Structures are given as structure tokens and as C-alpha cells.
Amino acid sequence: MLAAVLNAFGEKLEIADLELAPPGPGEVEVAIRASGVCHSDWNTISGATPSVVPAVLGHEGAGVVERVGDGVEDLRPGDRVVLSWLPACSRCRQCRSGRPNLCEAADAAMFAGTLLDGSIRLSRGGAAVHHYSLLSTFAERAVVPAASCVKIRDDVPLTVAALVGCAVTTGIGAVVRRARVEAGSTAVVFGAGGVGLSVVQGCHLAGAAAIAVVDPVEAKRRTARELGATHAFDPAADDPVAAVCELTHGGADYGFEAAGIPAVMRQTFEAVRRGGTVVYIGLPDEGASVALPGSEVVRGERIVTGSYYGSTSAADDMPAILDLYAAGRLDLDRLVSRTYRLEEINEAFADMLAGRVARGVITFDGADA
């Protein structure tokens, strides 16, 4: 099969012909139909996030089950699935306490570049090629843990469904599950990529009265307004903290940072009122620190929290999000700015870095089925 391989940090992805071993016990082989191009993949390409190479990247995908390994009973060939890069084990302390997005077993395998049992199904000429986030969706097919497969309804395009595998679930979950935004409240969103635009839609869905977006790209600000933002600020032209504080009479009730930039994380804190909630979603470079004013952390009583994978349960929340999309309550089509073939993957990353797309999606045959 063809796949996009990262051979070394800082290099372009190589389109290569790889071997894919059959699924083992508790695993599933999926024909990938669509895979979103996420900034987290770029963090790995650049070396900002530790990983192992060579590896097939991609962690935001959807497709069709082709075959299942021993012990898999609830999936069968032909099932349409969204892939979760965090398959909860249901046994560790985090899973047992109702926090499957913090699953300890999945996290360990993710950083090792293997599947859950420590094995690798990808190879080239007999040499192992590592998995990425337990999925490796920049490929025609993938072997993944059965727990990564979330069955979905038949009437949504897989191009759209792929984004629910990461950006949409991360953004909406941060609003609904982590922040628990209340109707009539005010919110500010720093960063209007795929995740930030999903935050906007989540806030709109929750009934926020004012939703401000801060992003330097005019097209993204315009899209944010079309998806429910009431105000949009260009940080190159406005002081975003001052603008948000003036709009909200002293600071927003909720602040979301979806860029993973320490300086912007500080601005998000400053744009939220005392007693408000600050949610950090974007992942900074490994080892980066965020400087917050110590006295104001105490006196202001803001809740400062992270949200990993939207603080969601993939098996429950991904189908629910697609139900909202099918009912016309979420406009996920607008998030797909452009589609690319696998051979154009490096162009897709270039467009993402230049701010030309909200989300680019790599498509394979059958993506719109």
C-alpha cells in the first residue's frame, strides 16, 4: 500500500510503498477514506514533539472496516468508522474514574510508536516503520486497535467524519465537557484553525451571547463569523486583550487557546475575567513554559485547565457530534477548505502553515460515500 512516511525530523514526507501485516487479536484493518491534516502532525515533522521515526503520520481519519482480528465481535467488514487516536483501555485508573481521554495504556503506546500490545504492523523491505498515535492515517490502509474504531451513521461524508476524529471533537468537547459553557455567557477563542472554529461552533451551540475570535488571518476570521462568532479581532491591528475586555466589560467568562503558543496562552488568561475559566487546547512545543502572573492567579480565582481530546469519551461523543451535524446544528462542511490526494500531502502542510486553509483533508477513493 502507499503511505506518507516521515524518515527524519525536518524532512518532507515521502510517499512510499509499504507492507501492512494482518490485524492481530483485538485489532482491525481499515481502508482509509479521508484523513485531516493537523498541526500536531507538523509538530512531529518539525521535531517539536518527541516521536520515533521512520513513521507513517496521520491521526485524524475515517474509513471502512476491511477485516478484523481474533476476539473482535462488535465490528465487521463494511462498517463505517471514525478513528480515535486515544483508544481507552477501560482498566487503568483514569478510565475507571471516568476520564478515558487520559488513558494511561494508550498514552504509553502512542509515544512508543507501536500498537497497544507493543507490536508494529508496518514495514518496508523487512524493516519496521512505526505507527503514529496508534493510527497512521496518511496511508491507504491501517491496522488499528478495535477500541479506536467508532461506528458511525451511513449518511455523513467520510471527508467530514474524519475531522470528528480530532479537531471537531477536541474543540466542541473543550466547550461542552471541560468548560461547560453556559447560555448567555461570553467567550473568546484565540486561534481559528480547525480546532478553534470547532470551539466557536461549540460556544454557539451552548448559547453563548458573545463569541470573540482572535486570529491574524482575515479569511479565518471571516469563516469564524459565518460559523457563529459575534466579533473577530486581528492581533496585528488590535490589542486583543484590550479589545476583548472592552467588549465584555472586564473580560470574557470563558477563554479558549487553540494555537499552542505560550505568549497567546498568556493573552488568553488576561482576556478572561476574575472568576472565569481559561481552557488551553493547543499543544505547545515540548518543554515550553507559560508565565502567568502569580498574584493574579490567586486573587483572580480563574479556573485554569487543559483539555486533552476535548475531555471526551470518543465512543459516546463522536456519534453524538455527527448526529448534530446530520440535524443541521453543526456546519462541519465549512471546516474542509480543500481536499488533496496523498501525493499532495506536503503541499497540504504548506497551505496549513501559510494559513490558507481551516482544515485540509487527504482523500482516497470513496471519501464522499
Report the run of H or E that residue 278 belongs to, with start and end. strand 272-280
For residue 7, the 8-state DSSP code is: -
Reported as a single tens digit per residue, the pLDDT across 30-51 is 999 999 999 999 999 999 888 9
The CA angle 272-277-280, to the nearest 5 degrees, is 95
C-beta atoms surrounding 155 within 10 Å: 9
- Per-residue pLDDT band for 285 (boundaries 50, 70, 90) equals confident
Average pLDDT, the chain: 95
Cell of 366: 470513496
User: If you average pLDDT over residues 103-120, what whole number do you get?
Assistant: 91
Query: In the chain, what are the domains?
Result: 2-151+337-363 (3.90.180.10), 171-308 (3.40.50.720)
172 has a pLDDT exceeding 80: yes
| Residue 201 contacts residue 331 (beta carbons within 8 Å) | yes
Q: Which residues pair with 61 in a beta bridge?
A: 35
What is d(CA 55, CA 3) in angstroms, rounded to the nearest whole number?
10
Burial (Cβ within 10 Å: 0-12, 13-18, ≥19) of residue 289: exposed
First-to-last alpha carbon distance for the chain, in angstroms, is 21
Among 169, 256, 262, which residue's Cα sits nearest to residue 214? 256
Reported as a single tens digit per residue, the pLDDT across 195-246 is 999 999 999 999 999 999 999 999 999 999 999 999 999 999 989 999 999 9
Reported as a single tens digit per residue, the pLDDT across 53-103 is 999 999 999 999 999 999 999 999 999 999 999 999 889 999 999 999 999
Choose from 15-24, 95-104, 106-115 the range with maximum mean pLDDT.
Answer: 15-24
Distance of CA 146 to the CA centre of its chain: 20
What pLDDT does residue 225 have? 97
What is d(CA 194, CA 266) in angstroms, rounded to the nearest whole number?
21
| Residue 334 contacts residue 315 (beta carbons within 8 Å) | no
User: If you average pLDDT over residues 92-116, what whole number do you get?
Assistant: 91
What pLDDT does residue 367 have? 67
What pLDDT does residue 365 have? 84
251 has a pLDDT exceeding 90: yes
Percent of the chain beyond pLDDT 90? 92
- Give Cβ neighbours of residue 86 (< 8 Å, ≥ 6 apart): 100, 101, 103, 106, 107, 110, 134, 309, 314
What pLDDT does residue 333 have? 95
369 has a pLDDT exceeding 70: no
